[in-house]
Structure 1
Amino acid sequence: MIPEGLSPRSARRWVADHLARLGSDEAEIDARLLVRMACGIDPALPGSAAEVPLGADEAVRLGELVTRRSAHEPMARIIGSREFHGLDFQLNEACLVPRPDTETLIEVALDVLPADRPARILDLGTGPGTLLLAILSNRSSDNGVGIDAAERAIEAARANARALGLASRSVFHVGDWAAGLAGPFDLIVSNPPYIPSRVCETLAPEVRDHDPRLALDGGDDGLDAYRVIVQQSAMLLADGGHVLLELGIGQAGDVARIARTSGLTVRGLRSDLNGIPRALTLGRG
């Protein structure tokens, strides 16, 4: 696939043009990363190494990587990691790729957690440990529990906790949301599946074909997970504690109504950088 005799620098241009023709919005950035993965040389940096023709093995490797990206496999899947809130999270096939919008939940969590004492945190649908570990990295005395239905996601979360030096303050278990857990928790946080089942098939191929359906599909109306999480959280929440949920577009009113049936009320609603209401905070009374 890759023309013979290309240097890393010229290969970057070839790959960028190829991806741009396929409609990639970040063809230049992707091309740079793919070339660097294939041959270990950053084609954007000055130096003679970027002008030496690719070896046969490097060209084959680059061709394989470009084929994967051309099939709409996200760069985070190809690289095997994604940055989130300043931390590097390793991913596997069972993990949802963290989105920048979800960082809104971290901002709210750091605002509502008690400043004068340690807190106990529960992350439901933890995936690679994204929310729990990002919060713990900012609060040195807190500890927490992460739950996910996918065993492979829990493997990634445990590996990330070790890599980030947070394994002593976090535990991860396979489970059915909060079933069987003992509280109380000062903060229960979740980015649950919230996309209506019928909509999942219409998502961009990077999401539809590569993110785990378990982390996307929220049932017929997109609210199935909220019904379970809110009911369980009401029984596990510490006095003065908070439940913090990521929302899909237009779901704030529906989730607030679900919360009221379990005795919880809205304490706050914060929008993401695109102005979309994203983080719903609930509490008692």
Structure 2
Amino acid sequence: MRTGQLYRQVRDRFRQAGLATPDLDARLLVSAALGVPVADLVLREDAEVTQEAAARAGTYEKLRLEGMPVGRILGEREFYGRRFFLNAATLEPRPDTETLVDAVLARTDPQQTGIMCDIGTGTGAIAVSLLAERPGCRMIAVDLSEEALQCALRNAGHHGVGERFYPVCADYMSCLRGGLDWVISNPPYIRSSVLAGLDREVIQHDPILALDGGDSGLEAYFHIVTDAASLLKPGGGIALEIGFDQAGDLEKQLRHHGFVAIEIIRDLSGNDRVAVARKA
């Protein structure tokens, strides 16, 4: 079998199964099975495929058709132009969350120095992306899961920011003392009552700890905003990813704790995605 034939077979099966992005999924999985860059698939159209590579592609195809996301199959996911390793304790970083990174970068100088704190860091995708773009900053990366922190530390080292990345296993910011310049988080914000209705690729493969926002979907925000109000320096910033219908509740909460210059930022789909504010 040749590379082009293998790719088209996988692609066509994904199309028949009604996958949302069959062509892209096929390219990613076949290129990984062959051990070549995605861009080289076309160049290798007539190259012979080894039995080992064909078998690996078959395994990947089967897992994808069973509902496993491509990132979980490959053990990594792209975010903000970088590849991040995943494990069972980490949420797969989503493109929408890049809006959160953009919001912080737009409100900081490239020469910015100081201490940022990422709550619920997971893979470390947000923290590592910010450190890579702001080389004068340091990052405290907090997560309740030691397994997630191990993954985040691996990603920080892989992208060359490990010396400025400080993993902390804790519940929110309970162990921190203050003096922070930024608090950033993509916390769990899905209401417990709607978890069962999520797409099977999410509910079966992402950790519930990173999804479940309690009965109101706002429980994590109560903790983070309260802690941030006492731990941020005057003028320090807070940036939170939010659900599409949570902006009003977050604005009230931020005002209640003395935050000013509150902004709600929309993602590329036009949905409210990020709340940003400053400590007075």
TM-score, structure 2 normalization: 0.93
Aligned to 2:275: 280
Amino acid at match of 2:146: E
Which of 243, 246, 252 is the aligned partner of 1:251? 246
Aligned to 1:84: 79
Aligned residues: CA RMSD: 1.8
Amino acid at match of 1:74: P
Helix, strand or coil at the partner of 2:181: strand
Correspondence list, 1:128-277, <5 A: 128-277=123-272
**CA–CA separation in structure 1 for the residues paired with 2:44 and 2:95:** 34
Amino acid at match of 1:13: R
**CA–CA separation in structure 1 for the residues paired with 2:90 and 2:116:** 20
- Pair 1:117–1:202, CA change in 2 (3 A): closer
- Pair 1:21–1:232, CA change in 2 (3 A): same
Correspondence list, 1:9-88, <5 A: 9-40=4-35, 44-47=41-44, 50=47, 52=48, 54-55=50-51, 57-88=52-83
- Pair 1:185–1:210, CA change in 2 (3 A): same
- Pair 1:47–1:92, CA change in 2 (3 A): closer
- Pair 1:116–1:36, CA change in 2 (3 A): closer
- Pair 1:47–1:279, CA change in 2 (3 A): closer
Asked whether the 8 Å contact 1:256–1:265 carries over to 2, the reply is no
Helix, strand or coil at the partner of 2:189: coil
Q: Which range moved further: 192-201 or 23-32?
A: 23-32
**CA–CA separation in structure 1 for the residues paired with 2:122 and 2:72:** 14
Question: Alpha-carbon deviation of 1:218?
Answer: 0.3
Q: Which range moved further: 188-197 or 97-106?
A: 97-106
Which consecutive residues of structure 1, in runs of 5 or more, have no partner in the other structure?
1-5
Amino acid at match of 2:189: Y
Alpha-carbon deviations, 1:136-189, whole Å to 9, x = none? 111111111000111111001101111111011111121101111111111100
Question: Alpha-carbon deviation of 1:48?
Answer: 6.9
Helix, strand or coil at the partner of 2:167: strand
Question: Alpha-carbon deviation of 1:61?
Answer: 2.0
Question: Alpha-carbon deviation of 1:231?
Answer: 0.7
TM-score, structure 1 normalization: 0.91
Question: Alpha-carbon deviation of 1:264?
Answer: 2.5
Figure out how many residues of one structure are paired with residues of the other and give that number. Answer: 278
Helix, strand or coil at the partner of 2:214: coil
**CA–CA separation in structure 2 for the residues paired with 1:73 and 1:129:** 22
**CA–CA separation in structure 1 for the residues paired with 2:161 and 2:278:** 27
Aligned to 2:101: 106
- Pair 1:272–1:47, CA change in 2 (3 A): closer
* Structure 1 position 127 matched with structure 2 position 122: yes
Alpha-carbon deviations, 1:11-60, whole Å to 9, x = none? 2111111111111122122222222222335673234753x2541x3333
Question: Alpha-carbon deviation of 1:266?
Answer: 5.0
Which consecutive residues of structure 2, in runs of 5 or more, have no partner in the other structure?
none
Helix, strand or coil at the partner of 1:188: strand
